[in-house]
Structure 1
Amino acid sequence: MESEPVTTPFGRRPMSLAMLLKQRRGEAIAAGTTRNKWKLFRSVCEARAGLDVTDRALTVLDALLSFYPEDELSSERGLVVFPSNAQLSLRARGMAAATLRRQLAVLVEAGLISRKDSPNGKRYIRRNREGGIGEAYGFSLAPLLARAGEIEAIAARIAADRQMLRGMKERLTICRRDIAKLVAAAIEEAIPGDWERISSTFQVLLQRIPRAATLESIAPVLEELETIRLGIINTLESQNKIQIESTSESQIERHIQNSNPESTSESEPGLETGQEANRDPEPRAGSERREPGMAGKDGEGSRAIVRTNAGKLKSFPLGMVLQACPDIVDYGPGGTIANWRDLMMAAVVVRAMLGVSPSAYEEAASVMGPETAATVMACILQRAGHINSAGGYLRDLTQRAESSEFALGPMLMALLRTKNRFSDGPAHRPEMGTDLVQAASR
Structure 2
Amino acid sequence: MSTYVQPVAPTEGRLGHLTPEQTEKLQQFWVRIFDIIDGKVQFDQTAPSSFKGQARDEDAAAPAPEKKSGWFGRGKSAAPAAEAAKEAPAPRFTGEDIRTALWKVVMMDHPDLLILKFIRARKWNLDDALKMMLNALKWRIAERIDELIELSDEELDQKYPKFIEQMRLGKGYLRGADPLNRPMSVVNTRLHHKNDQPAETIHRFTLYTMECGRLLLGPSAETVIVIFDLSNFGLDNMDWGFVRLFVQCFESYYPETLGVCVVHRAPFVFWGLWKLIQPLLDPVVASKFVFTRNNAELHKVIPRERLPITHYDGLDDWTYQYVPAAPGENAPMKDEVKKAELLKERHDLEARFEAVTRAWVSNINGQNSPERDEIARQLREQYTRLTPYVRAKNLYQRWGVAHDGQVNWTYNVKA
Q: The TM-score by the shorter chain falls in which range?
A: under 0.3
Higher helix share: 1
Please give the TM-score of this superposition, normalised by the length of structure 2.
0.23
TM-score (norm 1): 0.22
Of structures 1 and 2, the larger Rg is shown by 1
